[in-house]
Amino acid sequence: MPFTVLVCVDGSELAESALVEGLAVLREHERTVLVSVVDGPDTSLVMGGSGFAGGVLTGEELAEIQREKIAEAESMLKETATRLGHADAELVVLEGAAGSAICELAETLPASVIVLGTRGRGGLRRAVLGSVSDHVVRHAPCVVLTRNPD
């Protein structure tokens, strides 16, 4: 089984820093997979024909917005891979809750290690808002390497 590194990218400088530093620590690996997760479509925005209680978009408009989000994520992944000298990396865009989606992909690959940045939220903000990195650390099927902003 190849040593597979799953690197989480969200377009931020912190994620890119995590990628650079994480891959430097994990120099020897056979497979690099860059992943970005976009929120799933908000179907409550779709018009249901119920007058004032209905949504504001047609189903086609919502689908187009989702396609645009996915295309932007794909473009960001390609640019990141090229800029960092990993043009041969596999690129994956997932939809849904980021923490769960990353853990499911890690299990499916299977990943040997997940590399991701953290935003450094503490205390109440983390408890209220949750944390993708927190979820991944607690639920990943493999080792997780995180990079703090400090």
All domains of the chain in start order, with CATH: 4-40+70-147 (3.40.50.620)
Q: Round the CA-based radius of gyration of the chain to a whole number and report it.
A: 17
Q: What is residue 52's predicted lDDT score, i.e. its pLDDT? A: 56
How many angstroms separate the CA atoms of 34 and 100, rounded?
A: 16
3-state secondary structure 53-77: HCCCECHHHHHHHHHHHHHHHHHHH
Q: What is residue 17's predicted lDDT score, i.e. its pLDDT? A: 81
Read off the pLDDT band of 123 (50, 70, 90). low
Q: What is residue 128's predicted lDDT score, i.e. its pLDDT? A: 42
For the stretch 14-29, pLDDT in tens is: 778 878 888 888 877 8
